[in-house]
A = this chain, B = another copy of it.
Amino acid sequence: MIIMRSNASEEQIASVVHEVEINGLRAHISRGEERTVIGAIGDGRPVNKDPFLYLAGVDRVVPITRPFKLASREFSPENSTFPLDGVKIGGDEVVIIAGPCSVESREQILETAYAVAEAGAHALRGGAFKPRTSPYSFQGMGEEGLELLAEARQATGLPIITEVIAPDQVALVASYADVLQIGARNMQNYSLLHAAGASMHPVLLKRGMSATVEELLMAAEYILSHGNRRVILCERGIRTFETSTRNTTDINAIPVLKSLTHLPVILDPSHSIGNWEFVTAIARAGIAAGADGLIIEVHPNPSEALSDGGQSLKPERFADLVNQVQQIARAIGRSVAPANHKQTGPVQL
């Protein structure tokens, strides 16, 4: 990885690419907002970095042994952070995203948004486009759902996270959402990863249900390679033989990811255990293991939810979860970020 100075010219970049190629390597250019990074990709054999060190415009050269490059700790030993409406993602403070599985109605999303804001959530989740196993299941409210999310943001000040399931939807969803979610089923949908990367919008990338930790990082690499550095990784349970829970929370993945990558890592205990009774225990475990945040399903009336009711918390239980997580965060020298959304007056439901 050849990291260019922030003021490097196109000419300087071109001459580095030229040098890469005459060394028998392939150049992969990733243009970030601040600086350009040039990957020199070979066949795995060690490469002498001297020829690149003294070229004009080069800041530094970092040899990277992992198959993921821009995502690796070798590339960036410091944790990556970015602000989301005043909350810092990936920093010392723990961030909590909450909301219903699906946006179902104006009343439902506003009621939930107020409740989770009140309880201390930092962002609102809610699906407008739903990837469902069956074509006959509720597929989400579509753009109408996005509009309701925008209204909920305006009402509560909470930034919005919502899923995008097709490359040609990215622009539409990005026009409403603060963070694009890429779901577990689409973790290796590379055209979607490319589109989300190119959008330069923040992305929450969920681990596929049978993806290895390395494959998750390789998927992030697709987004990062567009120069889009605002990527949040999310463990959401893997598929195993165990049938007493919906998935098996891979709690090991939290410290392993934190050692391999500089990207923020959060946990989705709702999907990873799949039963509301146990969500709080697993949320605590995730923060104790070092996660930078949580994403939690909350529904005002879980038994009537159109999807995933069984794993959704009622607002009062969610408030209790936030309190418990706060205790755990303090026990390891962190804390839950203060709720900093602008408290607007109540809207009419």
Interface centre among A134, A186, A215, A285 (most CB of B within 10 A): A285
A171–B145 alpha-carbon span in the complex (Å): 29
Cα A244 to Cα B215 with chains together (Å): 11
Closest CB of chain B to A232's CB: distance in Å?
19
Q: Closest B-chain residue to A186, C-beta based?
A: B189
In the assembled complex, the Cα of A331 lies from the Cα of B325 at a distance in Å of: 9
Query: CB < 8 Å: which of B133, B165, B192, B278 contacts A215?
Result: B133
For the complex, give the distance between the alpha carbons of A213 and B225 in Å. 35
Which one of A77-85, A93-101, A106-114, A252-260 is at the B interface? A252-260
CA distance A287 to B247 in the complex (A): 20
Interface flag for A166 (CB, 8 Å): yes
The verdict on A244 contacting B256 (CB below 8 Å), with A190-B165, A251-B251 known, is yes
| A286 sits at the interface (CB 8 A) | yes
Residue A56, interface by CB 8 Å: no
| Nearest chain B CB to A338 CB, angstrom units | 19
* One of A7-15, A173-181, A234-242, A297-305 contacting the partner: A234-242
Beyond A249-B250, A259-B278, list 8 extra A-B contacts (CB 8 Å): A68-B134, A185-B189, A254-B281, A255-B277, A255-B278, A259-B277, A281-B289, A330-B331
A210 at the interface (CB under 8 A from B): yes
**A272: chain B residues within 8 A (beta carbon):** 252
> Once the chains are docked, how many angstroms separate the CA of A66 from the CA of B59?
48
B-side contacts of A41, CB under 8 Å:
136
Q: Hey, which chain B residues are within 8 Å of A273, CB to CB?
A: 252, 255
Question: Could you tell me which A residues sit within 8 Å of B by CB distance?
Answer: 26, 28, 39, 41, 67-69, 131-136, 165-169, 185-186, 188-192, 208-210, 212-215, 218, 221-222, 225, 238-245, 248-256, 259, 272-273, 277-278, 281-282, 284-290, 324, 327-328, 330-332
B254 in contact with A218 (CB, 8 Å):
no
Show 20 residue pairs from A and B whose CB-CB distance is below 8 angstroms, ordered by the A residue: A131-B188, A133-B218, A134-B218, A167-B168, A169-B191, A212-B243, A213-B244, A240-B248, A244-B253, A252-B278, A254-B281, A255-B277, A255-B281, A255-B282, A259-B277, A284-B332, A287-B288, A288-B289, A327-B331, A331-B331
Q: Are B285 and A251 in contact (CB under 8 A)?
A: yes
Closest B-chain residue to A219, C-beta based?
Answer: B133
State the CA gap A242–B67 with chains docked (Å): 17
Measured CB to CB, the nearest residue on chain B to A259 is B277
- Please give me the residue from chain B that is nearest to A70 by CB atom: B135
Task: A192 to B284: give the CA distance in the assembly, Å.
Answer: 36
Contacts of A167 in B (CB 8 A): 166-168
Q: A133: which B residues are within 8 A, CB to CB?
A: 67, 188, 215, 218
Distance between Cα atoms of A328 and B329 in the complex (Å): 9
Q: Check B249–A278 contact: CB distance below 8 A.
A: no
In the complex, A255→B26 CA distance in Å?
Answer: 39
Inter-chain contact A288/B278, CB cutoff 8 Å:
no
A250 touches B242 (CB 8 A): yes
CB A47 to nearest CB in B, in angstroms, measures: 14
Cβ-neighbour of A289 out of B134, B190, B285 (below 8 A): B285
| Minimum Cβ distance to chain B for residue A158 (Å) | 26
CA distance A210 to B208 in the complex (A): 9
Name the B residues within 8 Å of A169 (CB-CB). Answer: 191
